[in-house]
Structure 1
Amino acid sequence: MTSEFADEARTRLAHLLRMSGPHRALERDRIAAYVRATPDPPLLGPHGIRTSGCPRCRHTMWEQRDIDGEPISVCSRCGHVTRPL
């Protein structure tokens, strides 16, 4: 059994492979390709995770909070930032 610290240090790929338990190389390759092609989500906050589409590059924007606690959306690919109206 691993400690909580060791479990938190695992990569996203390691977590997904461990959860799915793939036995074939093709399944492992598909999971690895998925991890490379999708952005890492931000830490789960008290408001959950909210996403939207980036108006510039059409990839995933994660809702986060700025230094004042106001909601902003940040694109995981190009870094574009928007503020809700």
Structure 2
Amino acid sequence: MGTFADEARMAGNSERDRALIIAYVESTPEPPPLGPRGIHTSGCPRCRNTMWGQRDRDGRSISVCARCGFVKEADGGLS
């Protein structure tokens, strides 16, 4: 877990709050390296997890699922 999770442990007012925050952090995938266009996300149609906007080798905008690896053309989020 990263710094956010460490801070989240102290932020909650109850054990339940802290557990919910930590569970969220642990289940949220890390984004790809931040590029000049920022971070773009969408939902995966297969597993409903986070898809990160990226560029393929040819420079086309794609979205890649952090969980199952499904790839699709980006929804216009990257220009």
Q: TM-score, normalised by structure 2?
A: 0.70
Instruction: Give CA deviations for 1:25-71 in whole Å, capped at 9, x if unaligned.
Output: 83654443222211111111111111111111111111011112221
Identity of aligned residues (%): 52
What 5-or-longer segments of structure 2 have no aligned partner? none
Bigger-Rg structure (1/2)? 1
Judging by fraction of residues, say which structure has more helix. 1
Q: In structure 2, what is the equivalent of residue 7 of structure 1? A: none
The letter of the residue matching 1:83 is E
Larger RCO: Structure 1 or Structure 2 (Cα < 8 Å, ≥ 6 residues apart)? 2
Q: In structure 1, what is the equivalent of residue 73 of structure 2? A: 83
Q: In structure 2, what is the equivalent of residue 15 of structure 1? A: 3
SS at match of 1:22: helix
Q: TM-score, normalised by structure 1?
A: 0.66
What 5-or-longer segments of structure 1 have no aligned partner? 1-12
- CA–CA distance in 1 between the matches of 2:22 and 2:2? 9
- CA–CA distance in 2 between the matches of 1:16 and 1:83? 31
Aligned length: 73
